[in-house]
Amino acid sequence: MLKRHYPLAVTLIFLVLLTETAFAQRILGGLSVGMNLTQVDGDEFYGFHKVGLNVGPMVSIPFGKKSNWSVSMELLYSQKGAYHGSSVDTLRYKLVQDYAEIPVLIHFTDKKIISGGVGFCYGQLINYKETHSQFFDSLYRPQSSLSNSDISVIADLQIRLWYRLWANIRYQYSMKSNRTMLIYDPNVPSPITRYQYNNVITIRLTWMFNQEANPKRKFSPENE
């Protein structure tokens, strides 16, 4: 257990140390709070119906001639999963997955207002809960347990709202299957094998602790 969480503990200490030095250096520190809208591709249920938390600190290091480029690293508590429920059928299902995630992204920021980025994310499963109806058991047979890790790709867009406050929308998709499921469809003579992947849309706000105001716009409270 300790060995499994050791990389996350080291990363957390690293992030804390960087955030503490961010106020005296050109390293920017931030905190993000928001929600995940998630589904699991491969479970035969469609729609981003599972809502979860997405929260955690981050550090960003600008680089380039005009500091338009930056590389960032975060440590997030991120809830994923799937949900299906209806009053007209008995196929009820809910999967809640709690991850500790480490996204690493590279961003390009235009005019200190809008920023786009791409990157990768490593997620460590720290807890999960799965509930479903008896009818679900007759149709679905797990062929493997949930993977303890998740590696995903990320596309990220941020827009500066005011001063140091940014709105962020992010899309994230698993690069590897998290579980294999055997599905018994009454209309198909043989069972179907499905590989499951986390599919996530994140909406959140990020506050940058020591970011300079845009001199061309009235983002700073002192200018209002």
Q: Strand pairing partners for 147?
A: none
Residue 18 — φ and ψ, nearest 5°?
Answer: -65, -40
What is the rounded CA–CA span in Å between residue 100 and residue 175? 17
Tell me, what's the pLDDT at 174?
97
Q: Give the residue carrying structure tokens 């140091």.
A: 164
The pTM assigned to this predicted structure is 0.82
Tell me, what's the pLDDT at 63?
87
What is the rounded CA–CA span in Å between residue 51 and residue 47? 11
Please name the residues in contact with 129: beta carbons below 8 A apart, sequence gap of 6 or more: 94, 95, 96
Tell me, what's the pLDDT at 170?
98
Return averaged pLDDT per consecutive 10 residues of the chain, 224 residues in all.
Answer: 51 53 66 96 86 96 88 96 74 90 96 94 94 74 88 97 94 95 80 91 94 60 50
Domains in the chain, please, with CATH?
A: 2-213 (2.40.160.20)
Tell me, what's the pLDDT at 215?
52
